[in-house]
């Protein structure tokens, strides 16, 4: 197990008896332990909400009198002791899956690079699915006991918070984060000065600080260029995610890739496996090559060593979505570097040359593919698409022989499962289910849960969502004097007992958020049917530079606001992990309508399934593998289209037909005395039983370990003839 390097900035003044809360606050373990979160809520529920579930800020602000009060509450103290006992036991790491399966590889190390990490709403350093996947991957690596460190960015201005104007236009409000308020620790040198790494950018050297986030047993290191000594503009380099400014983007990717390698070295880590989650971090291979060449290897030998130890996961089935740079920019940023690799300009460009419609580019995924031995897409269909997309890199191979495999995404169960559902599973699944999440046999016992008990929890979660929406609408009405129609559009008329559909994700146009609104009259008829109405909740952000995405939000919002919807359509602003939890736990049906095959995997539907929310989706990404005819509904066919208009039309009609003929009748017809549809509950059980194990992050990280990390460790070992002692860290 790794020693954490960060040093707490805060010394909370806590009563001795509960002073372990201070340490707990700094380990994101609490983000997937509802019982740990409940301790803070117990002390002061309002403050817990006001600090947006941030225990560090909470402990700084909490009143001594409230702390003293819980000392005398026997239930609180019992719960506190149990949580701390669990935490200590967890951190000991003596009985993890990795330990029990791969003990001889425990002194190896996997370094995982990602440009965003979605760990919790309190740390908005993620934009969407890619980030949440990285965060979930890190948490599961901790649960399974993998020797693992993460590398990413501490974007101090975060990803924006979203406000929708009366006219439906997205306003991006900047977030300001300060580490003192967050579960983020500064890594310090021995003399207590901040530890930094430096990278060369044109005409200057830029410093980046290293921050540490403790994710259970594993450390995540975040880089941040807001350092004294950098110029004002360099201090802002890492302030935000995904700038459309090319200089800024390439600088960020240099800091992540090159700075990241240097940071790990400085921290005393010597990884055996380098996992690039998406191509943004692919420059890491250049820094590793530079080191090998400095040590006397040729560039070709260096590439061989790097390939043997590198894993690349691609997530982008849309060619235009790939991260690439014009060649003049590469000249500007790398002409100083290529001599140190022993390369001329053309040979350097060749590493990532990509012919696109307007000329040649330097493509980050091409670089990543060239530098990785193990390459994977994130669902079966996406694997096929990726093999087709990158086949030109293997001109001698047929598409099906292109060495890109797939591992389908999953979600971190502890993070996304509602507490009350967890309690229900505690009562009916075999004990120990929480550590065997990917075992399908365990989940067979979902069939034993009494219908009424399951439906009770489902209703509880719906009421919780509705109460939350109403409170948010009330706050907006109170604080921001929004127009009364916006109070309705924010969900104040939603009824917790009516069929409720959720659609929440990034507003990228291929996700077709507006599809269900296309035949608006037909939809309104369903929405307003007396006794059996349909409610639809939308949420999602568009990238601030994505004009079509913002126009799509506006189109949806304008329709939501129309009086004819009777308040049954809703748009919730500021979609983030907090709102995502409410939605994937609280609606009845999770709708997803991407234009196939553009959804590489998708994960929000997996979060929904875990909580007994039924998927109603296009057969794209993970759902094409998850759907079995009985555990949800499929929109459209398992087929490809050449004509997107025909595809939209067919998907639309399939969606309305299923909604009218299957979903609505199943929900409302043949209700029992408790207003429960037995058929619906049966479907919920089928959904949980078949999907919860298979689309768990536990299954996913085990697959990465078995089919990528361990083989890579073994190849690297052979290639380098390297033997490692039992002590992992140099320092
Ligand atoms: C899970 C999640 C996503 C990814 O959702 P998809 O529907 O798979 O695109 C995006 N944003 C947030 C906040 C999430 O929690």
Average per-residue pLDDT for the chain: 95
Distance 132 CA to ligand 1 centre (A): 7
Ligand 1 in reach of 604 Cβ (< 6 A): yes
Length of the chain: 731
Residue 660 pLDDT class (50, 70, 90 cuts):
very high
Backbone angles phi, psi at 349, to 5 degrees: -60, -35
Closest ligand 1 atom, CA of 133? 1
Residue 2 pLDDT class (50, 70, 90 cuts):
low
Would you list the domain boundaries of the chain? 8-92, 97-409+699-720, 495-695
pLDDT at 724: 54
Distances (CA, A) of 524 to 187, 268, 499, 516, 527: 56, 61, 14, 11, 5
Using most ligand atoms within 8 A of CB, pick from 124, 126, 131, 132 the residue to mutate for ligand 1.
Answer: 132
pTM, to two decimals: 0.97
CB of 571 closer than 8 Å to CB of 556: yes
For the ranges 3-17, 130-144, 161-175, the lowest mean pLDDT is seen at 3-17
Distance 218 CA to ligand 1 centre (A): 23
Distance 619 CA to ligand 1 centre (A): 17
Using most ligand atoms within 8 A of CB, pick from 537, 604, 615 the residue to mutate for ligand 1.
Answer: 604
Rounded distance, CA 517 to CA 539, Å?
A: 14
- CATH for 97-409+699-720, among 3.40.50.2000, 3.40.50.1950, 3.30.40.230, 3.10.180.10? 3.40.50.2000
Distance 272 CA to ligand 1 centre (A): 31
Q: What does the pLDDT average to over 192-216?
A: 97
Instruction: Supply the residue whose CA is at minimum distance from atom 8 of ligand 1.
Output: 602
Ligand 1 in reach of 128 Cβ (< 6 A): yes
- Class of residue 457 by CB neighbours under 10 A (exposed 0-12, middle 13-18, buried 19+): buried
Residue 530 pLDDT exceeds 70: yes
pLDDT at 722: 55
Ligand 1 in reach of 580 Cβ (< 6 A): yes
Residue 717 pLDDT class (50, 70, 90 cuts):
confident
Q: What does the pLDDT average to over 1-17?
A: 82
CB of 685 closer than 8 Å to CB of 454: yes
Ligand 1 in reach of 584 Cβ (< 6 A): no
Instruction: Supply the residue whose CA is at minimum distance from atom 7 of ligand 1.
Output: 604
Cis check: omega of the bond before 597, within 30 degrees of 0: yes
pLDDT at 233: 96
Give residue-wise pLDDT tens across range 93-107. 788 999 999 999 999
Rounded distance, CA 308 to CA 652, Å?
A: 47
CATH code at 495-695:
3.40.50.2000
Give residue-wise pLDDT tens across range 553-579. 999 999 999 999 999 999 999 999 999
Residue 725 pLDDT exceeds 80: no
For the ranges 140-144, 172-176, 306-310, 677-681, the lowest mean pLDDT is seen at 172-176
Give 592-632 as a DSSP string.
E---TT--S---HHHHHHHTTPEEEEES-TTHHHH--SSSE
Sign of CA dihedral 638, 639, 644, 645: negative
Distance 575 CA to ligand 1 centre (A): 9
Does 97-409+699-720 match 495-695 in CATH topology? yes
Distances (CA, A) of 340 to 288, 297, 639, 726: 12, 12, 49, 34
pLDDT at 123: 96
Residue 519 pLDDT exceeds 70: yes
Rounded distance, CA 119 to CA 166, Å?
A: 32
Q: Nearest CA to 311 among 282, 273, 280?
A: 273
């Amino acid at each position: 197990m790794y020693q954490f390097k960060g040093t707490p900035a805060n010394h909370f003044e806590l009563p001795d008896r509960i002073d372990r809360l201070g340490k707990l606050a700094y380990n994101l373990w609490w983000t997937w332990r509802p019982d740990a979160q409940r301790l803070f809520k117990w002390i002061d529920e309002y403050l817990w909400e006001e600090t947006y579930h941030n225990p560090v800020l909470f402990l700084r602000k909490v009143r001594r009198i409230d702390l003293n009060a819980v000392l005398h509450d026997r239930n609180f103290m019992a719960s506190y002791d149990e949580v701390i006992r669990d935490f200590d036991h967890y951190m000991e790491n003596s009985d993890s899956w990795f330990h029990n399966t791969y003990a001889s590889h425990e002194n190896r190390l996997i370094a995982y690079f990602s440009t965003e990490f979605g760990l919790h709403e309190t740390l908005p350093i993620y934009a969407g699915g890619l980030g949440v996947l990285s965060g979930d991957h890190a948490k599961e690596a901790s649960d399974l006991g993998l020797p693992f460190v993460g590398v990413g960015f501490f974007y101090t201005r975060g990803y924006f918070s979203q406000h929708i104007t009366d006219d439906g236009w997205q306003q991006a409000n900047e977030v300001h984060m300060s580490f003192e308020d967050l579960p983020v620790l500064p890594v310090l040198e021995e003399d207590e000065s901040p530890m930094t790494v430096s990278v060369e950018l044109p005409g200057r050297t830029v410093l980046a600080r290293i921050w540490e986030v403790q994710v259970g047993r594993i450390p995540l290191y975040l880089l941040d260029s807001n350092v004294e000594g950098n110029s004002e503009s360099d201090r802002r380099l890492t302030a935000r995610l995904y700038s459309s400014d090319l200089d800024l983007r390439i600088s960020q990717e240099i800091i992540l890739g090159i700075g990241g390698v240097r940071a790990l070295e400085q921290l005393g880590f010597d990884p055996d496996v380098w996992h690039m989650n998406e191509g943004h971090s692919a420059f890491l291979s250049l820094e590793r090559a530079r080191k090998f060449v400095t040590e006397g290897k040729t560039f070709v030998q260096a590439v061989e060593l790097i390939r043997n130890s590198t894993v690349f996961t691609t997530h982008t089935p849309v060619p235009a979505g790939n991260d690439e740079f014009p060649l003049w920019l590469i000249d500007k940023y790398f002409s100083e570097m290529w001599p140190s690799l022993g390369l001329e300009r053309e040979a350097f460009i060749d590493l990532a040359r990509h012919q696109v419609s307007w000329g040649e580019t330097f493509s980050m995924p091409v670089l990543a593919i060239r530098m990785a031995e193990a390459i994977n897409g994130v669902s079966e269909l996406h694997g096929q698409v990726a093999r087709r997309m990158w086949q030109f890199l293997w001109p001698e191979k047929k598409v099906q022989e292109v060495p890109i495999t797939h591992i389908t995404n999953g979600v971190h169960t502890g993070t996304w499962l509602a507490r009350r559902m967890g309690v229900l599973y505690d009562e009916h699944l075999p004990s120990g289910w929480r550590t065997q999440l990917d075992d399908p046999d365990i989940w067979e016992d979902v069939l034993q849960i009494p219908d009424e008990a399951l439906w009770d929890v489902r209703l509880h979660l719906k009421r919780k969502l509705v109460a939350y929406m109403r409170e948010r609408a009330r706050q907006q009405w109170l604080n921001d004097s929004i127009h009364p129609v916006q109070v309705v559009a924010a969900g104040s008329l939603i009824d917790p007992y009516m069929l409720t559909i959720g659609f929440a994700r990034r507003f990228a146009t291929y996700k077709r958020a507006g599809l269900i609104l296309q035949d608006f009259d037909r939809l309104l008829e369903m929405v307003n049917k007396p006794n059996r109405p349909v409610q639809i909740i939308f949420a999602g952000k568009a990238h601030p530079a994505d004009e079509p995405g913002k126009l799509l939000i506006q189109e949806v919002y304008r329709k939501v606001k129309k009086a004819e919807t009777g308040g049954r359509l809703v748009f919730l602003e500021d979609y983030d992990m907090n709102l995502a939890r409410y939605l994937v736990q609280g609606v009845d049906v999770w709708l997803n309508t991407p234009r196939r095959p553009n959804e590489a995997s998708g994960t929000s539907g997996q979060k929904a399934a875990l909580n007994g929310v039924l998927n109603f989706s296009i057969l794209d990404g993970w759902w094409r593998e998850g759907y079995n005819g009985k555990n949800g509904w499929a929109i459209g066919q398992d087929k490809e289209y050449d004509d997107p208009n025909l595809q939209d039309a067919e998907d639309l009609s399939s969606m309305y037909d299923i909604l009218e003929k299957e979903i609505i009748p199943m929900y409302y017809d043949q209700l029992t005395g408790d207003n429960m549809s037995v058929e619906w509950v049966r479907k919920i059980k089928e959904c949980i039983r078949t999907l919860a194990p298979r689309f768990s992050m536990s299954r996913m990280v085990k697959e990465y370990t078995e089919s990528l990390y361990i083989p890579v460790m073994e190849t690297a070992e052979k290639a380098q003839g390297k033997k490692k002692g039992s002590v992992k860290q140099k320092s």
